[in-house]
Amino acid sequence: MAMDKRVGPPRHLKWKSGPMWCRSHDGVSSSVALVLSAAGWLFSIIDEGLIGQPGLPDRWILVARDAFNGTLLWKKPIAGRISQKSLVAVGDKLYLAPGRQDPLTVLDAATGKTLLTLNNTEGSDEIVCTKDGIVLRERSNI
């Protein structure tokens, strides 16, 4: 048991944002990725499709917020649901493998603007950033 005098369990919630409910209990969660950057930005991928209507099309959105106060910085529609491992924030850049057929995209983390699209990187399932570069893992068909 810790004997901390100044740190304890949370007593209140500082901020919250949507989606408050998933679209359906039968499918994929409406929030699939959440990444915090060292610059204090929080990035998430959420489905803004109609709640309670799992048969209607998904509307996947990449959202950037100020991690301190929850202020919405920007939103950007993306091609489809991606995994947690396909979204990486490093410094002022956000690396995103947005869909099965889409190449790796590098975004300006502050604005969401596309800085670079890397050819021949389609089908990436996982992004790992090292001090020497970026490593991509290709999706397997298994």
pLDDT tens, residue by residue, 42-77 = 998 888 877 777 677 888 889 999 989 999 999 998
Q: Is residue 22 part of a domain?
A: no
CATH number of the structural domain spanning residue 131: 2.40.10.480
Question: Which residue range forms the structural domain that includes residue 106?
Answer: 31-138
pLDDT tens, residue by residue, 79-124 = 765 666 788 888 889 988 866 677 888 999 999 999 999 888 887 7
Q: Is residue 115 part of a domain?
A: yes
Q: Is residue 107 part of a domain?
A: yes
Q: Is residue 6 part of a domain?
A: no
Token look-up 């109609």 returns 50
Q: How many domains does the chain have?
A: 1
Q: Is residue 25 part of a domain?
A: no
DSSP-assigned states of every residue in the chain: ----SS--S--S-----S-SS-S-TTS--SEEEEEE-TTSEEEEEEE-SPTT-TTSPP-EEEEEEETTT--EEEEEE-SS---GGGEEEETTEEEE--STTPPEEEEETTT--EEEEETT-TTEEEEEEETTEEEEEEPP--
Is-above-0.75 flag for pTM?
Answer: yes
Radius of gyration, alpha carbons of the chain: 17
Q: Is residue 78 part of a domain?
A: yes
Q: How many CB atoms lie within 10 A of CB 30?
A: 21
Q: Is residue 23 part of a domain?
A: no
CB hemisphere CA count around 2 (13 angstroms) = 6
Q: Is residue 52 part of a domain?
A: yes
Rounded Cα distance between 105 and 110, Å, is: 15
Give the model's pLDDT for residue 35. Answer: 79
